[in-house]
């Protein structure tokens, strides 16, 4: 079936030069397709990963090259750092001499895993005789394409990687590509595309010259000298001002666990656990790796912050000499990035000071924590007020809340965290609510007024909000919802009613009511969506309203 599919393709479109295939982990499968992971499924097949992947490539090759003499471009990239993309042993045992080399190009990322700083270079180059084309990526996991931060310059990282790979006299690297459409705009995507183009022609190109020429093209020649310096500084601003050095150095995969594509994620369900899971996660993930390297951690954060401040200063100084149509975008991006780094640094500083005070609750440490927290709150507001602000500060806000509590009454705050339910108990409470809702649906369906029918794909944690005739989602963690179909049957009444959820086929832990509509929350119903398994899962559910208060229906929240 696989081979016949490509036979049909080349017969229908004989002018194609070839095909590019990716068979990494499942991410998004749209429409009515059923996902099938050809490298890992069926799970009960007694074939090794190496044999599965090699067989797939061989069968593709037989048609693409063997029958039609086309180019076969196989992307080996996937986000796992444990398989053929990143493990040299698995790679060599996959691409043996049984896999031909003519017209075949293998393409991994330059990095070991994904587009983070502090990533080792991919170790699968120069291991076999197969031609390889390196995929160069943006280094901007701190934001997404819709957030206009100051462009992140990847030149230092990508140039170092190209030089390392090509230093082997028998290097099998024959090309580099970015693979994303670009234009002459002030963005990380376009800066990266231009940088990759220049480095592909000359891996030893002077980085200042690349930054200067990009600035000249986009912002104008008169401001290019100054802006080249600002562009080069972005490497330090983001690597040191966003990442936490001891944390990043201890992680092979995601070296930026506390900030993901514009969202500071919060762990657990704070409305239920009072922030316990988030605080415990910060302890394990941030504080413990930094505990014996506090001074080093703070020094690097300070270097990044100083670089971010310099970028803003340089950009504002150069602004009068920029092209008029790009001036505002450049200045606004420098302001937004400066305050993003300010908040990130304050977040980590507060985190470290919080745990230090809990370990040794002296007056000095309390005063220091209070001072750091005050600065974080100020920076947070400056970020919110910055042009183009779209960041989600859930994790930051939860730490602020827990820090306020411990500063107000340390013993009370410690007891509250100790008594808060652990994650297992949280999900027991959720399961109890879901059973109660199912029972109510069976017994009182005639009382229910339909409010919402929702379908979509969920990857991480999201909160669906219903207020009147408006439905929205607060995205907390993971990739955002996809393929949303939201049918609001009736507006939610502006009064205290009870929401009941009917699951129609969702992944664990299935939808549940996080917060019932009441006067305090502006009569907003909140439905929590937590997809436990990796990658996306399909979700479908209905929400009903009962014209009674939760205490009258027996469906009061247990938290």
Contact present, 148 and 262 (Cβ < 8 Å): no
Q: Residue ranges of the domains in the chain? A: 2-203, 239-419, 424-553
Q: 72-88: string of b/e by CB count within 10 Å (b at 16+)?
A: bbbbbbbbebebbbbbe
Cis (ω within 30 of 0) for the bond into 532?
Answer: no
Backbone angles phi and psi of 154, in degrees to 5: -100, 10
The pLDDT, as a whole number, for residue 542 is: 98
In sequence order, the 6+-apart residues with CB closer than 8 A to the CB of 49 are 39, 40, 83, 84, 90, 94
pLDDT profile of the chain (559 residues), mean per 10: 95 97 66 70 86 95 98 87 89 97 96 88 97 95 91 97 97 91 89 96 98 98 98 98 97 90 94 97 98 98 99 99 97 99 99 99 99 99 98 97 99 98 95 96 96 94 96 90 94 97 92 97 97 83 97 94
For residue 152, give the DSSP letter: -
Contact present, 425 and 501 (Cβ < 8 Å): no
The pLDDT, as a whole number, for residue 241 is: 98
The pLDDT, as a whole number, for residue 24 is: 66
One of 3.30.930.10, 3.20.20.80, 3.40.1390.10, 3.40.1410.10 is the CATH number of 2-203, namely 3.20.20.80
In sequence order, the 6+-apart residues with CB closer than 8 A to the CB of 170 are 126
Contact present, 549 and 555 (Cβ < 8 Å): no
The CA distance from 228 to 33, in Å, is 47
Dihedral-angle region of residue 467 (phi above 0 means left; psi in -120 to 50 means alpha; beta otherwise): beta
The CA distance from 108 to 231, in Å, is 27
pTM above 0.85, yes or no: yes
> CA geometry: angle at 305 spanning 299 and 307, to 5°?
105
Name the strand (E) or helix (H) holding 438: helix 423-444
The CA distance from 485 to 457, in Å, is 10
The CA distance from 196 to 201, in Å, is 9
């Amino acid at each position: 079936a696989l081979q016949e599919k490509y036979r049909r393709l080349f017969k229908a479109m004989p002018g194609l030069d070839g095909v590019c295939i990716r068979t990494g982990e499942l991410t998004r499968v749209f429409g009515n397709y059923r996902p099938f992971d050809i490298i890992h499924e069926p799970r009960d097949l007694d074939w090794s990963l190496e044999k599965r992947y090699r067989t797939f490539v061989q069968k593709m090759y037989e048609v693409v090259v063997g029958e039609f003499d086309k180019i076969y471009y196989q992307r080996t990239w996937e986000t796992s750092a444990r398989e053929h993309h990143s493990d040299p042993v698995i790679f060599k045992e996959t691409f043996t001499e049984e896999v031909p080399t003519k017209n075949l190009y293998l393409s991994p990322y330059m990095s070991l895993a994904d587009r983070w700083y502090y990533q080792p270079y991919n170790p699968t180059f120069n291991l076999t005789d197969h031609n390889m084309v390196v995929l160069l990526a943006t280094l901007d996991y701190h934001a997404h394409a819709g957030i206009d931060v100051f462009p992140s310059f990847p030149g230092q990282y990508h140039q170092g990687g190209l030089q390392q790979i090509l230093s082997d006299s028998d290097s099998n690297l024959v090309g580099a590509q970015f693979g994303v459409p670009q234009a002459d705009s002030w963005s990380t995507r376009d800066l990266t595309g231009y940088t990759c183009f220049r480095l592909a022609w000359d891996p030893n190109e002077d980085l200042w010259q690349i930054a200067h020429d990009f600035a000249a093209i986009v912002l104008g020649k008169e401001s290019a000298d100054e802006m080249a310096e600002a562009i080069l500084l972005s490497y330090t601003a983001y690597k040191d001002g966003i990442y936490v050095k001891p944390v990043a150095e201890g992680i092979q995969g995601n070296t930026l666990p506390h900030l993901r594509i514009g969202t500071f994620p919060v762990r657990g369900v704070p409305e239920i656990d009072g922030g316990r899971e988030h605080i415990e996660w910060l302890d394990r993930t941030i504080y413990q790796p930094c505990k014996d390297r506090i001074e080093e951690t703070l020094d690097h954060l300070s270097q990044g912050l100083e670089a971010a401040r310099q970028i803003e200063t340089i950009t504002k100084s150069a602004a009068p000499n920029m092209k008029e149509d790009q001036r505002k975008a450049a200045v606004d991006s420098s302001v937004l990035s400066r305050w993003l780094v300010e908040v990130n640094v304050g977040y980590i500083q507060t985190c470290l000071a919080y745990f230090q005070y809990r370990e040794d609750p002296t007056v000095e440490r309390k005063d220091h924590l209070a001072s750091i927290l005050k600065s974080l709150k100020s920076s947070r507001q400056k970020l919110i007020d910055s042009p183009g602000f779209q960041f989600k500060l859930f994790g930051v806000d939860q730490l602020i809340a827990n820090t306020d509590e411990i500063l107000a009454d340390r013993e009370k705050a410690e007891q509250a965290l100790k008594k808060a339910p652990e994650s297992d108990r949280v999900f027991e409470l959720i399961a109890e609510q879901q059973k109660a809702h199912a029972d109510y649906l069976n017994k009182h369906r005639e009382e229910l007024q339909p409010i919402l029918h929702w379908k979509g794909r969920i990857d991480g944690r999201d909160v669906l909000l219903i207020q009147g005739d408006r439905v929205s989602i607060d995205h907390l963690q993971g990739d955002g919802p996809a393929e949303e179909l939201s049918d609001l049957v009736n507006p939610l009444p502006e009064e205290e009613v009870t929401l009941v959820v009917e699951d129609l086929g969702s992944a664990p832990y299935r939808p549940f009511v996080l917060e019932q509509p009441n006067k305090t929350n502006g009569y907003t119903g909140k439905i929590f969506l937590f997809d436990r398994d990796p990658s996306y899962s399909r979700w479908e559910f209905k929400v009903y309203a009962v014209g009674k208060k939760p205490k009258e229906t027996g469906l009061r929240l247990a938290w």
